[in-house]
Amino acid sequence: MTTGPAIVPVGLSVSRRAWRLFFWIWLLLAVPAALWAAGGTAPAAGLLFELRHGEAPPSYLLGTMHSEDPRVLGVLEQVQPSLTGSRRLILEMVPDGPAMLAASLGMLLGDGQTLAELLPAELYAEVKAAAAEAALPEQAIRRLRPWAVAVMLALPEAGGGAFMDARLYHQALESGLPVSGLETPMEQLAVFDDMSPRLQQAFLRDAVLNRAQVEVQYERMVNAYLSRDLEALRQFAETDSESLDPEVARWFDRQVLQSRNRRMFERLLQEFDRGQAFVAVGALHLAGEQGLLALLGRAGFSIRAVY
């Protein structure tokens, strides 16, 4: 994958992680509520769902895992027929060059600031050591916002392949299927606008403390995902959130999950009313009282697990 113009060295050094960040963050750190839907029970198992409303042709909603793991990518073979028969692919964000560049630049501190200037000396030393263990040299993090470094420290090492959402994107382009996004990079970045410096430091401190558990947590998440067990994914996220500062966990629940789910839901209604849309978003966006399955169920959609 190309990195785009060489605007700043830090953008080049972390561009791949920056891109993965904007997809992983929603799955890895969301804090969902219990799985249910008013007027009916939201499916607790499945990754691909058929949605029907009125006389419109069916649409499909896929819960993705934003990963390049070959085990995860195997799911794409199971959902290919539904994608092929659709009129449009809709992702959380279109993974094209301009979006990637915007994501990378949005992680940077402004006005010549550096991370070391924003953090207590002891915390910065711990962050620098954790980043080195994650193959991120100090030069790569020195101008990044604290929340961006925190998310990067919560990621497993990249393997160099295309993640699930990018594979779907390129498949659609190759077949001439139109692609659109539910959100822009700036809308996704905007959720961090009200994250106070104290919250960002707490989030970063949690990421450093939990760094040793990243690979173990990743394996648990992969196993739950491949089992198509939304309830297990919910429990994983709930347990994972217990290690976060409580205020950080509440902030993520409000800003990262609930507000974005509502925005996605409202933008999907028109597409689903037309039918034949194929929507792919992080699996945890499907779960919970304010998850997409529950919101769509309350809006009168008939929901059936396909895979």
DSSP annotation of 253: I
pLDDT at residue number 78: 95
For 137-164, what is the mean pLDDT?
86
**pLDDT over 80 at 30, yes or no:** no
Mean pLDDT of the chain: 82
**pLDDT over 50 at 34, yes or no:** no
Q: pTM of the prediction?
A: 0.83
Choose the weakest-confidence range: 34-43, 62-71, 222-231, 263-272.
Answer: 34-43
User: 273: burial class by Cβ within 10 Å (0-12, 13-18, 19+)?
Assistant: middle
Q: Tell me the range of 217-221, 231-235, 237-241 where mean pLDDT is highest.
A: 217-221
More confident residue, 23 or 36: 23
Radius of gyration, alpha carbons of the chain: 19
Nearest Cα residue to 226 out of 66, 79, 74: 74
pLDDT at residue number 220: 86
**pLDDT over 50 at 52, yes or no:** yes
Structure token digits, residue 182: 């539910």
pLDDT at residue number 171: 94
**pLDDT over 50 at 305, yes or no:** yes
Distance CA 63, CA 47 (A): 5
> Which residues make Cβ contacts (< 8 Å) with residue 164, sequence separation at least 6?
64, 65, 66, 67, 68, 72, 73, 75, 76, 280
End-to-end CA distance of the chain: 30
For 76-96, what is the mean pLDDT?
94
Distance CA 213, CA 207 (A): 10
- Pair 112, 204: CB distance under 8 Å: no
